[in-house]
Amino acid sequence: MTAVLVLLGAAALTAALYAVYRRPQRGLLLAALLVPFHGMLLIVPNGQSFVWWKEALLAVTLLAALVTPYRRPNSGVSMPWLPIAVVFVAVGVISALLTTGFPGAVYPVKITFFYLAVVPLICWYAPMTPRDRDHLVTIIMAVSVITAVWGLVQQFVGQEFLHELGYEYNTALRTSGSFMRSFSTFVQPFPFGLYVAMAVLVGGAVALSDPGRLRNRVFLLLIPVQLAGMGMSIVRAAYLAVIVGVLWLIVHRYRHLVVGVVLAALAGGMALVYIPGQYVQSLFSSSSLGQRTSGWSKIWDAVMTNPFGAGLGSTGSAAEKLETATQNTPTAYLAMLQNLNPELAYQPDNYYVKVLIELGPIGLWAFVTLLVVVLVSTLRASRYTRGVDSAFCLGVSASIVGACLASMVSTYFEIFPMDFYFWLLISAVGCAVVQTPAGTERWNAEESDELVAA
């Protein structure tokens, strides 16, 4: 029986590799489908031995994009953010090299820049077609609903059942007060809440552009389920991302949503009266915010001591890995963290603070400029493209606004799979811009004024 399963697995893997070889875009779509379920490895026997699968899949996809003879003539990808991204990466790489040297610098560089480098490069050699982008939206919609439903189910089955499955306390199983925070198929509540927030904004924008399509109608009807599942994660960054993202969609296109949003807000406020007190206390607890801001007092000492940054990877999840470091972690990198971060490990819970501490004011300037250019370019793309692509670009821009605000209370860009999806979505927008036929610009005076104001 085991031999049969091995043969079937080998056959399936071979078929998948051949499919990716013929169309590398399938590798990106496969990654988009599977990364939200990465957390399931926590309950798979020896699952931690396969945590590298996502990097391997993208590496194979990149190789296929470079060598496949089936590639169509490349029309290019619009990446106006590329120059400042190169500056940001250069600052980070130089920081890592000066701090730990080579090969120690490879580890923090990989954590910070892997998806930024690989995903746009794949799209450059194998641009996503309109059909690919439609499949991507379908994947985002379907996975968001599935994960939200499972997040709600987790509230009913409870911590003990989930612990028996193999999830560990204080890692995947976390509480806010006495309330268990849902984490669905992810490794923690944070990526779960942020993923659903992104899906609601991107999928919602596309669905509203064509509500007559069955897929879109079903998604819109299930948004309350998704928001409920996201709510059970108790991730305030996700709430903030949805709120500002929806406001962004209203301001730039869907003004008819104002009444619905106001009614939904009133209904939500009234519902708080009937929700058990433990849930409300967990939702509005200020303890976590106090912990964040108390840690921020370390910033100025760190910046004054190291005006060019303490070194890439000296804070956040990269530094936290030192506590569970394996023999595969470079010794030079561990030595750097022990020197710079002896308390193991300061979590700023603010990505801007993290960049400031690690890369200094120059690195923070490069990162903020990168976000501004990405945001403006995606908003402009929504004006330039037509139909579903226009709605997709607007949804992506709304998710970027949400990410920018969420980064003030989370290390958004080092939370997997949000880092992967961020670069995948803006690369897909770049494909849509280039593939828009000439002469179909949507610009007018009113829209131009809105963009300038933005």
Within a domain: 341: yes
128 within a domain of the structure (yes/no): yes
Rounded mean pLDDT, 353-379: 92
pLDDT of residue 105: 75
pLDDT at 90: 93
**What pLDDT, in 10s, does the model give residues 162-202?**
888 888 888 888 888 778 899 999 999 999 999 999 999 99
pTM: 0.86
Q: Does residue 105 form part of some domain?
A: yes
Residue 37, in any domain of the structure: no
Q: Is there a domain that residue 451 lies in?
A: no
Owning domain of residue 323: 83-253+285-428
Residue 53, domain member (yes or no)? no
Q: Is 106 exposed, middle or buried (0-12, 13-18, 19+ CB in 10 A)?
A: middle
Domain-embedded: residue 148: yes
**Per-residue pLDDT averaged across 203-215, rounded?**
94
Question: How far out from the chain centre does Cα 421 lie?
Answer: 5
Strands 179-181 and 174-176: antiparallel
Mean pLDDT for 3-21 is: 82
175 φ, ψ to 5°?
-125, 155
Query: Who contacts 64 (Cβ-Cβ below 8 Å, separation ≥6)?
Result: 20, 21, 24, 27, 126
Q: What is the pLDDT of residue 120?
A: 95
* 164 assigned to some structural domain: yes
The pLDDT value recorded for residue 312 is 78
- CB contact at 8 A, 340 and 310: yes
Q: What is the average pLDDT across 432-445?
A: 64
**pLDDT per position as a tens digit, 305-344:** 666 677 777 766 555 554 444 445 555 555 555 555 544 4
Q: Tally the domains of the chain.
A: 1
